[in-house]
Structure 1
Amino acid sequence: MNSMGHLMFDDTGAPFLVIQEQQNQNRCTGVEALKNHILAARAVANVMKTSLGPRGLDKMLVNADGEITITNDGATIMKSMDVDHRIAKLMVELSTAQDDEVGDGTTGVIVLAGALLEQAEQLLNKGIHPTKIADGYEIACKKSLETLNNISEKFPIDRRDELIKSAVTSLGSKIVNKDLQHLAEIAVDSVLSVADNDLHDVNFDLVKIIGKTGGRLEETKLIKGVVIDKTMSHPQMPREIKDAKIAILTCPFEPPKPKNTVRLDIGSEQDYENLRKYERETFEAMIKQVKDSGATLAICQWGFDDEANHLLYQHKLPAVRWVGGPEIELIAIATNGRIVPRFAELNAEKLGHAGVVRELTFGTGRDQYLCIENCPNNRAVTIFIRGSTQTVIDETKRALHDAMCVIRNLVRDDKIVYGGGSAETACSIAVAKEADKIAGLEQYAYRAFADALDAIPMALAQNSGYSPIDTVTQLKAAQIETNNSALGVDGMNLGTNDMREQGVIETLNAKRQQFSLATQVVRMILKIDDVRLPNDEEQNYVGM
């Protein structure tokens, strides 16, 4: 055998190879390991950099099945990236954390983390210890959060037009920006419909988003009620029911089945006739129970066969079958009805109420949806998206989710900072100004943090077609001169750098989270100085 290993035999006589001294093969330690990590993280950040801002470019992602996703949403890009490097996986977790916590700013957090690591690499080359860099970043992050608090402003949460402006900022960088105003209004109205003003929170489970290809993006609408992808079970049942009393059932319209295995022998025509008669009587008894409760529409989680369907039609009881669990819950919330698991428990108090239940028909394919509107509880709403292709609909869903998250953040905490890189520039100026007061080697990292913050306005400027260094230098000079922290990069080329005038707003909560998460992950990466890959065990047994 070669020097790498030797052949051995197991109990059954099958040969296997024992490989030794593998542990020295893929081992990376000290500064070399750190630089390897920084390289991987920067590679991820550089991919995201071009997607930042209103003029940012989109990414086309192709999965293993060949399905295409075209998106500008940082979290979606990161989740879809097939990354093997362990540090790149940390970056994916970083954007996911930002998305789960805040829902917005997922691209910015990756770009900031990449910039911090880029600066750290230069400091490592100067011989500064990684712990000192991490500590310096920690102090600088605290200073940045203080600065954000100082420059933040209270937001008039009760003014719908102002809320729409903040939704427009979020949607501006997405594919859907040709229909900005309309979609921003839908995002704001949907969140305000379901917001709990006492708890200062928003339950997104009450907002259902469905999409149907065909039609124009402008035809997207907000329906104050529930829309389900179902129709009446019988084609001759009425297409519209006014003042509907709805029985919401989770029990099937069928005779009870014996639980254990039972043999049923039918030896004569009479036996068969008796069975049919029993089934029919059972169905009629069930329909009578529903009608006696006063219901004018039955919505059933399970199906029912053609005989039951025909009997429902004969007894003039419109019904909908195979309605999924989440939809059943939404219908119950919207109509103030109770979900009934047994026919015997059904009574008038448990019925849901709706002003109108109607079928929506559209498209040349005569696609149909059932729409339950004018419900007593307006806290369940549906956003119905139309778009030319599934790709457009999917991206619109992601864009609306981000915009809704921005509004939710404002409901939770009504403080804002201005966008366009203005908040980062203000923090960069404040941190740089404070650097001389820091004793010890941490001051190098402190200054590096200020330089890293410039990466956001630089990326925005680059994506908008400006010279990055010139733009950021002028921006800093203007902020210091006028003491106006709302000056940012004029990404939309509107002729003014004042983000107040442009109405480019970001929530303080999202920005704070962005800074904190990026610093935490960078600190974690800087603390890892020894990596052994999973295949580095003392001995590897390779079956032959």
Structure 2
Amino acid sequence: MANEGAGGQPVYILREGSTQSKGRDAQQFNIMAAVAVAEAVKSTLGPKGMDKMLVDPTGNVTVTNDGATILREVQIDHPAAQMIVEVARAQDDEVGDGTTTAVVLAGELLRKASDLMDRQIHPTVIATGYRMAADKAKELLQTIAVPVEKTDRELLEKIAFTAMTGKGAEAEGAMLSKLAVDAVLAVEDAGKVDTDNVKVEKMVGPGAMASQLIKGIALGKTRVVENMPKAVSKAKILLLNASMEIKKTQVDASIKIKSPQQMKTFLEQEEAMLLKNVEAISKSGANVLFCQKGMDDLVASHLGKKGIFAIKSVSESDMKKLSRATGARIVTKIEEIDPKDLGYAGIVEERKVSGDESLTFVEECKNPKAVTLFVRAGTATVMDELERALHDAIRVVSVVVEDGKVVPAGGAPEIELSLRLKQYASTIGGREQLAIESFANAMEIIPRTLAENAGLDPIDMLVSLRSKHEAKNGKNFGLNVYEGKPIDMLAAGIIEPLRVKTQAVGSAAEAAVMILRIDDVIASGGPSEQTISEAKQQAKRQLAAGRMGGGMPPGMGGFM
């Protein structure tokens, strides 16, 4: 990029090959990229959403309709598009569900903003209106929400089932929902839920109905040596974060041995050190050992002779879960082992579960605050999707347990927000009113997409939904995609956490506002495969036509 200097000579301020896009062109280009991301996941929304097949460079295949997974796997380089991916990531981190809703809403907000800019409404005015609308929407959502008690298991299971609908888990949904609720309530502590304490262990097997909740921990590891007992009842468990091997010197050193007797003495001393550690463990009363570090074969053999079940190289996260489940304290020095540090489990057993594969089960713990969901499925692809569905279910149930508020699903909150935001817009003066109205219209993209993905007429469905919501006591009506008509979602038990909606609205609005405020894009790289001017023209054509499915902009990557 160059500016005219004194005497008409160009003054270069950016290195050669850099490109600059300014003003409306830059805004259109960014909006095009962001909307393309939304279009990429739009068809996955809802119970009848379609799946995407993602193939990575190594040939691994992922089949899913989880928005967060899709956007994580697809290679996206465009900076504006990455900002929309951040919306999905924030939604997944905060509540674990509603990622597709947040992304689709962000894309529609930007599409509506583009229309307003075509009408000469300044981006700053649109951004102000969007912020006002988002704040009002969160306030209105509080009036739509209904309270729920964590003791209402039936309702919690319905919430879990709603989160898993459309992810290939419907056939086993009732059973998996029960497992998810049991897992969350087991690790709940004083109204707070740390979902990291729900460990998911998966293995191909007879089918999803064989999945189970273990009131303890299942580890994908086995005994160190065969002479150890295969099962230990009334287990006294020691968790050790110390090496059971001879320590290597930290600096270069050498030991000169001049005779076989010296060698024998040296080895005997090493062996004595290791056996001293074995005696310390045995003296503590422990009959099960989980070691985070390595373990010498000699130590393992002697532990086996003493009837101690031992596993080495346990991950730090599993050690923490074992501590939460058994009540054991993680010991860092063998000399400091105390019987008070030991945990308890009714049974610790190495069990063959599929073919030649075995797991170690730590069960019958006293009030475990860490549990394991053991997921089974007929194929690895189905198993992975079941794991994602259970992840969503666990997260939404934990959010409801913490917040105690839910809203009807099926597009009901979006239609209600759309109608009430339009009423709110009429009370606002200035051009911000137009932005709030556009925000209100954008909310309808969720029920519209639900209808489209179910093969229903979106216009007819929106008209029916508006009619129900304009009537008295109609705020809970959403779209039943199976029957093709509005129903009371609250009465039908199709519900989701309030936080899913507030987070989706907030993050979508923030991303849209940030992208709208960008009026200058300076790229320091070389030219892309498609020139900047061509990309601008394509953005203008596609935005004018109201469609974004005709391809992604440069740097968007794509599905293989």
Q: Do the structures match in fold with TM over 0.5?
A: yes
2:33 pairs with 1:43: no
Match of 1:384 in 2: 374
How far apart are 1:426 and its partner, in Å?
0.5
2:446 pairs with 1:424: no
Match of 2:216 in 1: 225
Tell me if the contact between 2:26 and 2:519 (Cα under 8 Å) persists in the aligned partners.
yes
How far apart are 1:317 and its partner, in Å?
2.7
Task: For residue 242 of structure 1, give the secondary structure of its aligned residue in structure 2.
Answer: strand
Match of 2:543 in 1: none
After superposition, give the CA deviation of every residue in 1:135-182 in whole Å (9 maximum; x if it has no partner).
222222233223212221111321111100001110002122221111
Match of 1:525 in 2: 515
Match of 1:204 in 2: 195
Q: Distance in 2 between matches of 1:258 and 1:441?
A: 73
Match of 1:404 in 2: 394
Code of the residue aligned with 2:403 in structure 1: it is D
* Alignment map for 1:325-336 (pairs within 5 Å): 325-336=316-327
* Alignment map for 1:50-65 (pairs within 5 Å): 50-65=43-58
Code of the residue aligned with 1:53 in structure 2: it is G
2:183 pairs with 1:193: no
User: Structure 1 stretch 236-245 or stretch 453-462: which is displaced more?
Assistant: 236-245
2:245 pairs with 1:254: yes
Task: For residue 471 of structure 2, give the secondary structure of its aligned residue in structure 1.
Answer: helix
Task: For residue 374 of structure 2, give the secondary structure of its aligned residue in structure 1.
Answer: strand
Task: For residue 156 of structure 1, give the secondary structure of its aligned residue in structure 2.
Answer: coil
Distance 1:23 1:29, change over 3 A: farther
Q: Distance in 2 between matches of 1:108 and 1:315?
A: 58
2:129 pairs with 1:139: no
Distance 1:495 1:453, change over 3 A: closer
User: Where does structure 1 lack aligned partners over 5 or more consecutive residues?
Assistant: 1-17, 538-544
Distance 1:456 1:327, change over 3 A: same
Distance 1:254 1:484, change over 3 A: same
Task: For residue 521 of structure 2, give the secondary structure of its aligned residue in structure 1.
Answer: strand
Tell me if the contact between 1:104 and 1:406 (Cα under 8 Å) persists in the aligned partners.
yes
* Alignment map for 1:6-25 (pairs within 5 Å): none
Query: CA RMSD for the aligned pairs?
Result: 2.3
Distance 1:65 1:20, change over 3 A: same
2:436 pairs with 1:446: yes
* Alignment map for 1:300-379 (pairs within 5 Å): 300-365=291-356, 367-379=357-369
Match of 2:286 among 295, 302, 305: 295
After superposition, give the CA deviation of every residue in 1:423-453 in whole Å (9 maximum; x if it has no partner).
0001111122333322222222222112111
Q: Distance in 1 between matches of 2:435 and 2:249?
A: 73
User: Structure 1 stretch 100-109 or stretch 126-135: which is displaced more?
Assistant: 126-135
How far apart are 1:109 and its partner, in Å?
0.6
Distance 1:495 1:236, change over 3 A: farther
How far apart are 1:289 and its partner, in Å?
1.7
Match of 1:66 in 2: 59
How far apart are 1:214 and its partner, in Å?
2.9
Code of the residue aligned with 1:210 in structure 2: it is E
2:152 pairs with 1:159: yes
Normalised by the size of structure 2, how large is the TM-score?
0.87
How far apart are 1:529 and its partner, in Å?
1.2
Code of the residue aligned with 1:30 in structure 2: it is G
Q: Distance in 2 between matches of 1:218 and 1:30?
A: 57
Match of 2:97 among 104, 116, 119: 104
2:264 pairs with 1:273: yes
Match of 1:502 in 2: 492
Task: For residue 477 of structure 2, give the secondary structure of its aligned residue in structure 1.
Answer: coil
User: Structure 1 stretch 379-388 or stretch 527-536: which is displaced more?
Assistant: 527-536
**Aligned positions, number:** 518
Code of the residue aligned with 2:87 in structure 1: it is L
Tell me if the contact between 1:72 and 1:175 (Cα under 8 Å) persists in the aligned partners.
no
Distance 1:149 1:343, change over 3 A: closer
Q: Distance in 1 between matches of 2:119 and 2:354?
A: 65
How far apart are 1:22 and its partner, in Å?
7.3
Match of 2:426 among 425, 436, 455: 436
How far apart are 1:494 and its partner, in Å?
8.0
* Alignment map for 1:107-118 (pairs within 5 Å): 107-118=100-111
Q: Distance in 2 between matches of 1:20 and 1:509?
A: 47
Match of 2:74 in 1: 81
Q: Distance in 1 between matches of 2:103 and 2:440?
A: 16
Identical counterparts, % of pairs = 37
Code of the residue aligned with 1:85 in structure 2: it is H
User: Structure 1 stretch 351-360 or stretch 255-264: which is displaced more?
Assistant: 255-264
Code of the residue aligned with 1:153 in structure 2: it is V
Task: For residue 223 of structure 2, give the secondary structure of its aligned residue in structure 1.
Answer: coil
User: Structure 1 stretch 412-421 or stretch 385-394: which is displaced more?
Assistant: 385-394
Tell me if the contact between 2:464 and 2:485 (Cα under 8 Å) persists in the aligned partners.
no
Code of the residue aligned with 2:385 in structure 1: it is E
How far apart are 1:477 and its partner, in Å?
1.1
Over 6 Å off, 4+ runs: 18-25
Distance 1:477 1:346, change over 3 A: same
Match of 1:455 in 2: 445
Distance 1:122 1:253, change over 3 A: closer
Normalised by the size of structure 1, how large is the TM-score?
0.90
2:509 pairs with 1:516: no
